């Protein structure tokens, strides 16, 4: 590796200082390093073409925005959590430089996470589209009213959900909004699409796990008002009656560098409080 990009938040002192420290360390190692700021009100600079690895300082939210912006470049991304342990930002600040030494030596593993692409069609034309790492959510705005969402899978009618909304998620997103809405936890490297109604009017409407090859289409009740499509809980667009939302697997996968010190199951135990019960003193 000869070049890397460090993406951090300037208003978060710990993240900014860690980014500057990593920039200095990288140059001491003979690497070319560029420090980029990730803030909602700042236009992020394009990545230099020679960048080989991206290091993200912050939390899972920061990594989600970086994934949407740069995921299509298929560069390995290391998520460094500034604060508590994250599902996506697995490496702590204390582990940063040992992890970077492993990366510099080429001793690291990469996980490929599937992404989705959500498109809004209006009057038959593609109107708005975004890449999704966690989930695409259709729901109401301020008023908590049931909406009707007619859903097709690969052109075949599935059902019309009467619910507070609908979540279309990746396995990576199964530990985000989907989890709080009662969905299953799916191993993050699997290739599936999760379809989950939010508080459905009919209890028989259950979550569905679909293959990555499907194309999902959702249309609104013509009387629907104040309905939005939100991706990764960060970017949204208002939907109008007659709009059609299409969600399918993105053309690229996100490459995440795995933590050298903890497994996915260890992260689950830590984040979800499963560590209250001690593991037995034997192995299966």
Residues catalogued as catalytic:
60
Three-state DSSP at 161 gives strand
Backbone angles phi, psi at 4, to 5 degrees: -145, 160
Place of tokens 């920039």: 23
- The two structure tokens encoding residue 187: 């191993």
- The two structure tokens encoding residue 218: 């959702």
Three-state DSSP at 92 gives strand
Q: How far is CA 35 from CA 6, 11, 32, in A?
A: 5, 14, 10
- The two structure tokens encoding residue 231: 């991706």
Q: How far is CA 259 from CA 92, 93, 105, 147, in A?
A: 9, 12, 15, 41
Three-state DSSP at 139 gives strand
- Look up residue 24 and give its DSSP letter: H
Three-state DSSP at 67 gives helix
Q: How far is CA 96 from CA 25, 76, 163, 235, in A?
A: 11, 15, 44, 29
Place of tokens 């960048």: 51
| Residue 248 CB partners (closer than 8 Å, separation 6+) | 116, 117, 214, 215, 216
């Amino acid at each position: 590796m000869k070049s890397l990009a460090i993406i951090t938040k300037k208003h978060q002192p710990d993240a900014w200082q860690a980014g500057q420290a990593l920039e200095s360390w990288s140059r001491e190692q003979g690497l070319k390093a560029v420090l980029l700021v990730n803030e909602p009100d700042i236009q992020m600079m394009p990545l230099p073409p020679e960048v080989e690895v991206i290091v993200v300082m912050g939390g899972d939210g920061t990594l989600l925005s970086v994934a949407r912006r740069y995921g299509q470049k298929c560069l390995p991304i290391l998520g460094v959590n500034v604060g508590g342990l994250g599902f996506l930002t697995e490496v702590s600040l204390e582990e940063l430089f040992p992890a970077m030494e492993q990366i510099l030596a080429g001793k690291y593993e990469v996980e490929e996470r599937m992404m989705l692409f959500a498109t809004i069609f209006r009057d038959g034309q593609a109107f708005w589209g975004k890449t999704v790492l966690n989930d695409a959510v259709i729901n109401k705005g301020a008023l908590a009213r049931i909406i009707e969402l007619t859903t097709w899978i690969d052109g075949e009618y599935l059902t019309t959900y009467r619910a507070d909304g609908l979540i279309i998620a990746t396995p990576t997103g199964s530990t985000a909004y989907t989890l709080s809405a009662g969905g299953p936890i799916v191993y993050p490297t699997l290739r599936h699409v999760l379809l989950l109604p939010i508080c459905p009017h009919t209890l028989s409407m259950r979550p569905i796990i679909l293959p990555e090859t499907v194309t999902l289409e959702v249309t609104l009740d013509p009387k629907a008002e104040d309905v939005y499509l939100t991706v990764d809980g960060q970017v949204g667009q208002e939907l109008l009656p007659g709009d059609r939302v299409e969600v399918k697997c993105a053309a690229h996968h996100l490459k995440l560098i795995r933590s050298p010190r903890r497994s996915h199951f260890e992260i689950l135990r830590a984040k979800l409080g499963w560590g209250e019960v001690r593991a037995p003193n034997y192995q299966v």
